[in-house]
């Protein structure tokens, strides 16, 4: 046992989960329900990782600090199985039938609401060709969604995924499969140029790409924005009533009901490996926790190999592959407390949309994305404006509003600043002046916004990483989602099934398939895999240590 003395190992858990992100908590709930003795160890004082709310501007104003849109979670197999239990533990959803809109110069806007006809009507006013193209894209979505969401919910590669593809071959036939292959390989610009006419309608879909790191010209970048744009039109957008942490509280409540433990405010420093198997963890305060059956690491792939494992624990090939794992551009969050709703130039009707994208056009997205990769601060930051109060009015008192502004995509390190004087500064120095630039942009689309701002809190890329070490460099998605690091290549070729070359050590979280977002998938699939393997071991007889 490398550096591990059995005498210092204290509590015999079945599983130790490193990190209380939602995937870690989901894995812990599933294992604990199966009777395993589970502990989740979280470095932060509060669980949830990138899912957390707080009154960060003024008392009574509850902001989702990071993730807010719960659609992926609500659509997950985990929620299908545990939704009622989470409700018992206090989770309530608030859903908007007006999921997203885009604004453009000159007071123009276009919004998508639940139901095809209402959206088509708005698009017809832009151009009849846009309405026709949107209808065709919606038809494509209806044909492809079952297959694409089926793959999304399966381990890759797996028998389950093969079954989904076999079903697709039967229903889609050769032409449909060719359409699917073309969709999977297209860039977003290629997709929207094929179907839509106006620059405004094209931006409506393309803006979703930059929620990940899918600039409009990235190959394979069409699928996510396509799915998000049309699934939101089908179901609207949901947030947790009272704040994102209510979902975390419900997960922790369920864990505790099943006898699981949560320890916060202490980091795991090392994963202990003996004879090729993970046997426990060592905490920052020196305490060691024994894991008789598994260690589940809800950590970034580079942290796993860079600090938690000792050199030589993993085979050289896997070590090198994980060291090469690539992160995407950074994100900044600006939280505003407002005395009134946003005074959009495009009109009050925009106030009811959950998200308003302020980019504005596909070429702007392409420029912003290239700037970020080249280390340039964008002159025109891409903004996702979350009008959380319009979805969940409980978040602020009286007429007050909370506004969630996600600034995508930014350089991890600031090289040049062609539009200003922030070149070469650290994010700690540049955060507030850059937030002023963001506010100035927003003011052009919502004149008078400044006058209704009561307070603001800025979280720079550096703050994001300080808050959650998985957000490396402030990358909100914990690793690029380009094709070379997606599907069976996430986090690295041969490592997409959560298992590692170290026995009983599994890696979950945004850095593993199916990637970032509140999809609860990796925690769910990895925990179920552990249970299946434990049953097999039981069937094959004793031999597992306790
Ligand atoms: C600003 C922002 C906005 C987003 N918006 C959305 C959205 O609206 N909808 C959506 O679906 N997704 C959104 N996302 C993405 C989504 O929130 C994340 O992909 C998701 O929460 C990742 O979950 P996870 O389980 O991988 O772990 P994380 O949430 O990354 O949590 C990991 C946890 O592990 C802990 N940890 C790591 N290492 C250790 C260690 N050694 N010891 C102890 N603890 C450790 C960390 O402190 C952290 O709490 C957003 C992300 C960000 C940052």
- Domain of residue 439, CATH code: 3.30.519
Q: What is the rounded distance in angstroms from the CA atom of residue 204 to the CA atom of residue 122?
A: 12
pLDDT for position 10: 54
Q: What is the rounded distance in angstroms from the CA atom of residue 171 to the CA atom of residue 148?
A: 13
pTM for this model (two decimals) = 0.96
**Which of 439, 458, 476 represents a domain boundary (last residue)?**
476
What lies within 8 Å, CB to CB, of 462 at 6+ separation is: 426, 427, 428, 431, 474
Q: State which ligand 1 atom lies nearest to the alpha carbon of 308.
A: 41
Task: Give yes or no: residues 154 and 199 share one domain.
Answer: yes
In a domain, 503, yes or no: yes
**19 close to ligand 1 (CB < 6 Angstrom):** yes
Task: Give yes or no: residues 225 and 177 share one domain.
Answer: yes
Residue 389 Cα to chain centre, angstroms: 21
Q: How far is CA 190 from CA 144, 226, 357, 518, in A?
A: 18, 12, 20, 28
In a domain, 123, yes or no: yes
Task: Give yes or no: residues 453 and 509 share one domain.
Answer: no
Which helix (DSSP H) or strand (DSSP E) does residue 461 occupy? helix 461-467
Which residue in 216, 242, 293, 211 sits closest to 92, CA to CA? 242
Nearest CA to ligand 1 atom 32: 21
Nearest CA to ligand 1 atom 47: 468
Task: Give yes or no: residues 464 and 384 share one domain.
Answer: yes
Token readout for 300 is 């970034």
In a domain, 362, yes or no: yes
Task: Give yes or no: residues 339 and 466 share one domain.
Answer: yes
Distance between first and last Cα of the chain: 16
Within 398-479, strands assigned E span: 401-410, 453-459
* Count of C-beta atoms within a 10 Å radius of residue 75: 18
Q: State which ligand 1 atom lies nearest to the alpha carbon of 47.
A: 49
Task: Give yes or no: residues 214 and 318 share one domain.
Answer: no
**530 close to ligand 1 (CB < 6 Angstrom):** no
The DSSP secondary structure of 335-353, one letter per residue, reads EEEESS----TT-GGGGG-
Task: Give yes or no: residues 383 and 306 share one domain.
Answer: no
pLDDT for position 541: 64
In a domain, 392, yes or no: yes
Task: Give yes or no: residues 346 and 465 share one domain.
Answer: yes
Q: What is the rounded distance in angstroms from the CA atom of residue 79 to the CA atom of residue 84?
A: 8
Q: What is the DSSP letter of 297?
A: E
* Count of C-beta atoms within a 10 Å radius of residue 283: 18
How many residues can be counted in the chain? 546
In a domain, 78, yes or no: no
How many domains, in total, are found in the chain? 3
In a domain, 84, yes or no: no
Token readout for 37 is 């003795």
In a domain, 132, yes or no: yes
Q: What is the rounded distance in angstroms from the CA atom of residue 19 to the CA atom of residue 40?
A: 7
Task: Give yes or no: residues 336 and 453 share one domain.
Answer: yes
Low-confidence ranges of the chain (pLDDT < 50): 1-9, 543-546
Burial tier of 77 (Cβ tally within 10 Å: 0-12, 13-18, 19+) = middle
Residue 496 Cα to chain centre, angstroms: 17
Range(s) of the domain holding residue 280: 6-43+265-326+478-540
Nearest CA to ligand 1 atom 50: 67
Helices 199-206, 362-373: inter-axial angle, 10-degree rounding: 40
User: The domain that contains 505 carries what CATH number?
Assistant: 3.50.50.60
Q: What is the rounded distance in angstroms from the CA atom of residue 379 to the CA atom of residue 370?
A: 12
Using an 8 Å Cβ cutoff, are 104 and 200 in contact? yes
Task: Give yes or no: residues 100 and 129 share one domain.
Answer: no
Nearest CA to ligand 1 atom 49: 49
**Beta strand pairing status for 505-507 and 453-459?**
unpaired
pLDDT for position 83: 98
Strand pairing partners for 385? 356, 405
Which helix (DSSP H) or strand (DSSP E) does residue 370 occupy? helix 362-373
Q: What is the rounded distance in angstroms from the CA atom of residue 324 to the CA atom of residue 307?
A: 15
Q: How far is the CA of 419 from the centre of ligand 1 (A)?
A: 32
Using an 8 Å Cβ cutoff, are 176 and 143 in contact? yes
**468 close to ligand 1 (CB < 6 Angstrom):** yes
**Which of 178, 212, 234 represents a domain boundary (last residue)?**
234
Q: What is the rounded distance in angstroms from the CA atom of residue 293 to the CA atom of residue 102?
A: 49
Q: What is the rounded distance in angstroms from the CA atom of residue 511 to the CA atom of residue 167?
A: 28
Task: Give yes or no: residues 469 and 514 share one domain.
Answer: no
Q: What is the rounded distance in angstroms from the CA atom of residue 86 to the CA atom of residue 80?
A: 11
Task: Give yes or no: residues 314 and 335 share one domain.
Answer: no
Q: What is the rounded distance in angstroms from the CA atom of residue 384 to the CA atom of residue 68?
A: 12
Q: Cis before residue 152, ω within 30 degrees of 0? A: no
Using an 8 Å Cβ cutoff, are 16 and 501 in contact? no
**Which of 212, 234, 256 represents a domain boundary (last residue)?**
234
In a domain, 77, yes or no: no
């Amino acid at each position: 046992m490398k550096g591990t003395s059995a005498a210092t190992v204290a509590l015999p858990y079945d599983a130790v989960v490193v990190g209380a992100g939602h995937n870690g908590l989901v894995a812990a709930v599933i294992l604990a329900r199966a009777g395993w003795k589970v502990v989740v160890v979280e470095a932060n004082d509060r669980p949830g990782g990138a899912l957390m709310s707080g009154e960060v501007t003024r008392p009574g104003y509850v902001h989702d600090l990071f993730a807010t849109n719960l659609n992926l979670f609500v659509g997950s197999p985990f929620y299908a199985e545990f939704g009622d239990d989470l409700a018992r533990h206090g989770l309530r959803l608030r859903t908007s039938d007006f999921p997203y809109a885009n604004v453009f110069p000159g007071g123009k806007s276009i919004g998508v609401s639940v139901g095809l006809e209402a959206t088509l009507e708005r698009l017809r006013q832009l151009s009849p060709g846009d309405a026709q193209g949107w209808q065709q894209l919606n038809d494509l979505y209806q044909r492809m969604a079952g297959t694409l969401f089926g793959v999304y919910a399966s381990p890759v590669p797996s028998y389950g995924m093969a079954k989904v593809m076999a079903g697709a071959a039967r229903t889609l036939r050769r032409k449909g499969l060719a359409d699917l292959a073309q969709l999977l390989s297209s860039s977003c610009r290629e997709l929207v140029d094929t179907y839509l006419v106006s620059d405004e309608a094209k931006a409506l879909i393309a803006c979703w790409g930059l929620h990940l790191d899918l600039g409009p010209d990235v190959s394979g970048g069409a699928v996510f924005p396509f799915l998000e744009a049309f699934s939101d039109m089908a179901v609207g957008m949901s947030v947790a009533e009272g704040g994102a942490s209510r979902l975390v509280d419900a997960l922790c409540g369920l864990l505790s009901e099943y006898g699981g433990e949560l320890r916060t405010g202490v980091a795991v420093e090392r994963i202990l490996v003996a004879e090729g198997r993970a046997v426990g963890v060592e905490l920052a305060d020196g305490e060691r926790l024994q894991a008789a059956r598994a260690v589940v690491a809800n950590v970034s792939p580079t942290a796993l190999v860079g600090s938690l494992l000792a050199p030589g624990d993993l085979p050289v090939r896997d070590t090198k592959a994980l060291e090469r794992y690539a992160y995407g551009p950074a994100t900044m969050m600006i939280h505003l407390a407002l005395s009134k709703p946003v005074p959009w130039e495009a009109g009050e009707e925009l106030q009811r949309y959950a998200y308003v994208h302020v980019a504005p056009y596909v070429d702007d997205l392409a420029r912003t994305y290239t700037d970020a990769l080249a280390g340039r601060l964008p002159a025109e930051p891409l903004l996702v404006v979350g009008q959380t109060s319009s979805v969940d009015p409980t978040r602020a008192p009286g007429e007050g509003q909370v506004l969630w502004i996600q600034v995508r995509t930014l350089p991890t390190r600031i090289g040049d600043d062609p539009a200003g004087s922030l070149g070469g500064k650290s994010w700690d120095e540049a955060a507030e002046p850059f937030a002023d630039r963001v506010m100035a942009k927003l003011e052009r689309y919502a004149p008078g916004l400044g006058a209704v701002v009561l307070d603001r809190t800025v979280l720079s890329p550096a703050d994001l990483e300080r808050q959650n070490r998985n957000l490396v460099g402030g990358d909100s998605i914990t690793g690029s989602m380009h094709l070379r690091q997606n599907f069976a290549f996430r986090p690295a070729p041969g490592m997409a099934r959560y298992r590692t070359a170290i026995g009983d050590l599994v890696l979950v979280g945004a850095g593993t398939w199916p990637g970032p977002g509140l999809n609860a998938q990796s925690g769910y699939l990895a925990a179920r895999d552990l249970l299946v393997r434990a049953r097999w071991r039981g069937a094959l007889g004793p031999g597992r240590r306790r």
